[in-house]
Structure 1
């Protein structure tokens, strides 16, 4: 996706229509979904220009759609990295398990390249 400073991003809507629909929903409808997917999302953490829960709702909906056609929810995993310090961040959604904020984690490695390399190779 493109990025524009100061702009808003409908992250839940984009996730649903640009990622989930073509890569998962379309494939489960025509029975061609063969492999698990890992979806990486990097965000500033503020799902704006849409309802506040649209991002979480899109992820939860994905699990429900998978189960409806007898795929385990674990067939699609989401790894979400938040950059920034917004207090209205995505981790406010208790139904999702969001990894530690990426910027906080990286700050710990600022002066320790060896530990950073170890973390990157063995998360």
Structure 2
């Protein structure tokens, strides 16, 4: 979930599927992970590039499998990982290669994120 205040909205207009909000800024939870997804597809009825910020693996999976109306192709996904996940200072942004469910956690998934650089991060932190 993303948080913003009404006065932080730059504008709002009707789109084909819903009301589109244009934000000046948005607050991200500093202990949560997010995905910055880049792709091509339908944007307001025309084919072109798009970028989405999503906050869960299920929503990311819908985009990657093309189940969202606008998502015809995903080009790359970046993981925005909190310091609690990476053990580094501040938020890290890593190009993502793969997401796996940690064996034995299928009923309540713990995700393993593998970056293009070969680093492994887990969604659950100790």
Same fold (TM over 0.5): no
Question: Which structure has the highest helix share of the two?
Answer: 1
Q: Taking structure 2 as the reference length, what is the TM-score of the superposition?
A: 0.31
Structure 1 or 2: larger strand share? Answer: 2
Structure with the bigger RCO (C-alpha within 8 Å, sep 6+) is: 1
